[in-house]
Structure 1
Amino acid sequence: MAHPELGPLRSIRTRDLEVGYLDAGPDGGKPVILLHGYPYDIHSYSEVVPLLAARGRRVIVPYLRGHGPTRSLTDAGRSGQQAALGADLVALMDALGLDRATYAGYDWGGRAACVAAALWPERCDGVVSVNGYLIQDIQAAARPIAPALEAGFWYFYYFATERGRAGLTANRAEIARIIWTRNSPRWSFTDADLQEAARAFENPDYVEVVIHSYRHRLGLAPGHPDYAALERRLALAPPVTAPAVTLDGAADGNFPATDGTGYAAHFTGRHAHHVVPDAGHNLPREAPHAFADAVLELAVLRSDAHDAPEHANGV
């Protein structure tokens, strides 16, 4: 399987998954792992990958569990909980022989990045996370939020029902269309864009992983026993100690942009926050230069003497 604009896909096995991933840029470059969200796929990074590869980064973009060619090898591989997503990231690094890497993501991918950075800080060089600190407080799942925000999360509650499971099974692309439209009201995506991503939703574990993810975060489904110890640690809201850049899209339809202070205390290393004009929830697809610049900004936050300030546009 190949993505002409991104390059050929590779495959590697971890304990729980056969992971399909893109590997671009120089082999000896500093590794950056880009993580997509739901309901999206690796094409969110179509323009980010070449920007980072041109700056000498080795860019690795996996399909998350339940998406595209990534296949579950065990029962644990079909869990959608946050601990599983973070553990997958570190397991992929182990399989690739990477001691450390930079993590960058949004939505599920941002959550995976925060989880892995918080639980395995020795493996993380830095984090870019859209919408900030994304480790879920499962214990507070029954606590309501503002009605205007609850309305945007309609699919959380839809997926809590068997009607929602049947709906997701039958209408994968059309549910994604509604979420994309609401999440990114200024993104003029095409039918071809949607169909390109929707191929990833044909994965045989897609429905099970998605349904479990939303039911678990609402406290409506138990986690897999293999991740119980990790979830107990996540319940303590562990900090991200690596350098971090957080981003909010000014046009995110479900997650209003903030100044970052509401979650800044969870980032105990050097931390920068930016609001990206006109960008919605699929921020790397909608504002690829801003996202790539955030990854490159981590070198400045690390104060690496051999890394001068960089920008994806070459300025």
Structure 2
Amino acid sequence: MIKFALTPTLTIAYEYHGPDNGAPVILLHGFPYSPRAFDEVAPALAAQGYRVIVPYLRGYGPTRFNSAQTLRSGQQAAMAQDLLDLMGALGIEQATLCGYDWGGRAACIVAALFPERVRGLVSGDGYNLQDIPNSFQPSDPETEHRLWYQYYFHTPRGVEGLRQNRRELCQLLWRLWSPTWARKDERYSLTAAAFDNPDFVDVVIHSYRHRFGYASGDPALEWMEEAVAKQPVISVPTISLCGADDGVGPASLVDEDAEQFSGFYERRVLAGVGHNIAEEAPQETLKALLDLLSR
């Protein structure tokens, strides 16, 4: 069931499962994905009595900006503020959060800055707060190679390429990022329509420019970006799920994020899983959520 929540910036479309009085769980997709990533997770949680909310992020599906004048920002603080605004609109004081990629970043920021609002966190690939002040530092060549699409989006050619070929380009990313997942082409056809949102291109381009300092952010969110720049630790109970076959950033042998978590923390590396963690490994995602919810 799709419902809508009116927030100060957006009218957020979200899929709803379970009873109204259940403990809330919010599931957050990334780029270039959609709520379809949680098709096998949300109903299973609802069947156990949880109130499950799966929003379309800004720029995806039926979610819309309330004003034509609003900056189509894709910065990390905007995603986190959208999550807070959604929780406020739905009267949710505290929720268990699960997200990966853009959605994981929103969840991690809220967990870091507003720990009282988060019962537990399942994060795709650990600590997802961008360190923008140090983004000018180059990575090793192999990592730089995997980030080619981000640099492409920094150019006018990349903007037009995404605008003209959004479905083909995003499908290529699915194939590169989940190289060992047999169902990627089958499942992609269920998600691609979410990219037809009129703000998709602008939000995506801004996201990948802002994170490298090539685009200004929303002035109203500068306070949050400044707080995130300090790379605060996350104190809420957290399970990190990492895809061993992730084409964006394969799971390292050593957990480099452990020091960013001060409470209960566990890292689980998933063999044969790429970047689209929740959709490729729904049972492992569900287990991580239930493990936290039962604590």
TM norm structure 1: 0.90
Match of 2:51 in 1: 58
Contact persistence 1:76–1:226 (CA under 8 A): no
Residue 77 to residue 16, structure 1, CA distance change in 2 (3 Å): farther
Please identify runs of 4+ aligned residues in structure 1 that moved more than 4 A.
Answer: none
In structure 1, what is the Cα distance between the partners aligned to 2:66 and 2:254?
Answer: 39
In structure 1, what is the Cα distance between the partners aligned to 2:260 and 2:85?
Answer: 24
1:112-261 equivalence runs, <5 A? 112-189=106-183, 191-258=185-252, 261=255
Residue 130 to residue 259, structure 1, CA distance change in 2 (3 Å): farther
- SS of residue matched to 1:145: coil
Contact persistence 1:173–1:194 (CA under 8 A): no
Structure 2 regions of 5+ residues with no counterpart? Answer: none
Match of 2:38 in 1: 45
In structure 1, what is the Cα distance between the partners aligned to 2:193 and 2:66?
Answer: 20
> Percent of aligned positions with the same letter in both sequences?
48
Provide the alpha-carbon RMSD of the alignment: 1.3
Contact persistence 2:112–2:235 (CA under 8 A): yes
Contact persistence 1:138–1:219 (CA under 8 A): yes
Q: Which amino acid aligns with 1:45?
A: F
2:15 equivalent among 19, 22, 34:
22
Q: Which amino acid aligns with 1:99?
A: E
**Are residues 1:279 and 2:268 paired?**
no
1:193-222: CA deviation from partner (whole Å, max 9, x where unpaired): 323211111111101100000000011111
In structure 2, what is the Cα distance between the partners aligned to 1:192 and 1:291?
Answer: 20
Q: CA deviation at 1:73?
A: 1.4
In structure 2, what is the Cα distance between the partners aligned to 1:99 and 1:214?
Answer: 31
In structure 1, what is the Cα distance between the partners aligned to 2:70 and 2:182?
Answer: 37
In structure 2, what is the Cα distance between the partners aligned to 1:174 and 1:107?
Answer: 20
Q: Which amino acid aligns with 1:72?
A: F
1:79-106: CA deviation from partner (whole Å, max 9, x where unpaired): 1000000010010000000100011011
Contact persistence 2:71–2:218 (CA under 8 A): no
Bigger CA drift: 208-217 or 145-154?
Answer: 145-154
In structure 1, what is the Cα distance between the partners aligned to 2:244 and 2:35?
Answer: 23
In structure 2, what is the Cα distance between the partners aligned to 1:31 and 1:10?
Answer: 15
Q: CA deviation at 1:25?
A: 1.2
**Are residues 1:67 and 2:67 paired?**
no
TM norm structure 2: 0.96
Q: CA deviation at 1:239?
A: 1.4
Match of 1:108 in 2: 102
Q: CA deviation at 1:259?
A: 5.0
1:139-177: CA deviation from partner (whole Å, max 9, x where unpaired): 111111121111111110000001100000001111111
Give the aligned length: 294
In structure 1, what is the Cα distance between the partners aligned to 2:223 and 2:105?
Answer: 18
In structure 2, what is the Cα distance between the partners aligned to 1:15 and 1:49?
Answer: 27
Q: CA deviation at 1:52?
A: 1.3
Q: CA deviation at 1:120?
A: 1.4
Structure 1 regions of 5+ residues with no counterpart? Answer: 1-7, 304-315
Bigger CA drift: 66-75 or 259-268?
Answer: 259-268
- SS of residue matched to 1:171: helix
Q: CA deviation at 1:263?
A: 0.7
Residue 142 to residue 83, structure 1, CA distance change in 2 (3 Å): same
